[in-house]
C-alpha cells in the first residue's frame, strides 16, 4: 500500500530489440541486481518502466547527482512536536515494501554514496540503517537496478570495481533502423515511411560520432523531431531544431549535418 503511487497503471510502450525482456525476467526471478548500460536516450528508463509494469512491481526511481548523499537514499530523522520521526528514503522504501529501485546515472553519485547499496546486492539482502540501529531485511520482491552511460570519457566517473562486480548487465544501443523507425512512428504519430527518413537522419549523425560529434542523435531526439513533424513542422526544419542544433555548436559540423539532413528528405 505504501507504494501505491509508485505503481505503473498503463503499459509503457517498449519495443524489444533482442531478448532483453526474457533476460531481465530471469534476473528478476532471482532478484539479481541488474545494470543497464547504454548511451543517452536509447530507452533504458523506458525499458525499466515497462518491466515494472510487466512484472507488476512498483518502481522507485532516483536520479543520481554528485551531491546525493547516503541519507538522501536511505532516509533521515525529521523533527516533530513530540520528538524525532524517521523518514525512509527512496531506497529504504523500496527495500521495505518490495519495489524495483532504479538508480539512474549511478556514476554521477559519489563513491561513498554508492557503497550503501553493497549489502543489498549480495547474499545479505539487507540495508543497515545505522542512525536507527536497524537492519532492514529486503522484501522478497525487492530488486535493485542501476543505469549508466559508459560513453562518458571522464576518469573521475567510473564505477568502482567492487560495485560493478555485484551486477549482471544488459547492454543497450540504438535499435536497428527498422525497429527504430517503428519506435519513432509509434511515439510521435508520424507515418512509418516518414519515420524511416527521420531515422536516416539519425544514422547520418551517428556516422559523425568520433569525427567531431561526441554522440550521434539519440532515439529520443528522433522522437522529438517526429513530434515536431506531427505538429505540422516541415521535416527538414524539425530535424534542424530537434537534432542538428542541439547536437553541436561547431559551425562546420552544423553545416555538414544540415546538408546531410537535406539529403534524407
Give the nearest distance from C-beta 203 to another protein in angstroms: 8
Span near another protein by CB under 8 A; candidates 18-26, 27-35, 66-74, 96-104: 66-74
| Stretch touching another protein by CB under 8 A, among 20-28, 167-175, 223-231, 252-260 | 252-260
Q: Which is nearer to another protein, 122 or 214 (CB)?
A: 214
Cβ distance 151 to 42 under 8 Å? no
Asked whether position 77 contacts another protein by CB under 8 A, the answer is: yes
Which cell numbers in the block locate residue 261?
539532413
Nearer to another protein, 10 or 211 (CB): 211
255 near another protein, rule: CB under 8 A: yes
Q: Which of 30, 56, 79, 112 binds another protein (CB under 8 A)?
A: 79
Nearest to 142, CA basis, from 54, 30, 236, 53 = 30
Q: Which of residues 56, 156, 232, 249 is near another protein by CB under 8 A?
A: 156
| Residue 83 binds another protein, judged by CB under 8 A | yes
Which ranges of the chain would DSSP assign to H, the alpha helix? 20-29, 44-55, 70-74, 90-97, 111-114, 161-164, 177-188, 192-207, 219-230, 235-239, 245-247, 251-264
Does residue 40 bind another protein (CB under 8 A)? no
Q: Residue 165 interacts with another protein (CB under 8 A)?
A: no
Q: Return all residues near 92 (Cβ < 8 A) that are at least 6 apart.
A: 73, 74, 75, 127, 129, 136
Residues 179 to 218 in contact with another protein, rule: CB under 8 A: 197, 200, 204-205, 207-208, 210-212
Q: How far apart are CA 135 and CA 88, in angstroms?
A: 13
Does 240 sit near another protein (CB under 8 A)? no
Beta-bridged to residue 135, according to DSSP, are 128
Closest to another protein by CB, 1 vs 155, is 155
Q: Residue 86's beta-bridge partner residues?
A: 77
User: Dihedral angle at the C-alpha atoms of 132, 134, 139, 143, nearest 10 degrees?
Assistant: 70
Which residues in this chain contact another protein in the complex, by CB under 8 A? 66-67, 69, 71, 76-79, 83-84, 150-151, 153-156, 197, 200, 204-205, 207-208, 210-212, 252-253, 255-257, 259-265
Amino acid at each position: 500500500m505504501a507504494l501505491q503511487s509508485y505503481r505503473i497503471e498503463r503499459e509503457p510502450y517498449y519495443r524489444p530489440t533482442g531478448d532483453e525482456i526474457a533476460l531481465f525476467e530471469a534476473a528478476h526471478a532471482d532478484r539479481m541486481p541488474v545494470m543497464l548500460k547504454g548511451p543517452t536516450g536509447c530507452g533504458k528508463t523506458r525499458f525499466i518502466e515497462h518491466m515494472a509494469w510487466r512484472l507488476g512491481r512498483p518502481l522507485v526511481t532516483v536520479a543520481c547527482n554528485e551531491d546525493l548523499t547516503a541519507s538522501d537514499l536511505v532516509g533521515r530523522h525529521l523533527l516533530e512536536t513530540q520528538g524525532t520521526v524517521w523518514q525512509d528514503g527512496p531506497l529504504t522504501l523500496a527495500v521495505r515494501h518490495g519495489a524495483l529501485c532504479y538508480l539512474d546515472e549511478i556514476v554521477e553519485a559519489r563513491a561513498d554514496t554508492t557503497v550503501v547499496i553493497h549489502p543489498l546486492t549480495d547474499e545479505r539482502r539487507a540495508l543497515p540503517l545505522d542512525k536507527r540501529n536497524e537492519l532492514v531485511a529486503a522484501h522478497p520482491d525487492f530488486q535493485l537496478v542501476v543505469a549508466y552511460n559508459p560513453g562518458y570519457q571522464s576518469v573521475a566517473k567510473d564505477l568502482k570495481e567492487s560495485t560493478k562486480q555485484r551486477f549482471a548487465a544488459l547492454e543497450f544501443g540504438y535499435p536497428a533502423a527498422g525497429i527504430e523507425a517503428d519506435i519513432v512512428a509509434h511515439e510521435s504519430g508520424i507515418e512509418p515511411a516518414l519515420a524511416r527518413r527521420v531515422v536516416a537522419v539519425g544514422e547520418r549523425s551517428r556516422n559523425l560520432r568520433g569525427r567531431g560529434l561526441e554522440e550521434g542523435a539519440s532515439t529520443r531526439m528522433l522522437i522529438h523531431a517526429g513530434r515536431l513533424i506531427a505538429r505540422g513542422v516541415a521535416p527538414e526544419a524539425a530535424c534542424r531544431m530537434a537534432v542538428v542544433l542541439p547536437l553541436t555548436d561547431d559551425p562546420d559540423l552544423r553545416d555538414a549535418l544540415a546538408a546531410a539532413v537535406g539529403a534524407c528528405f
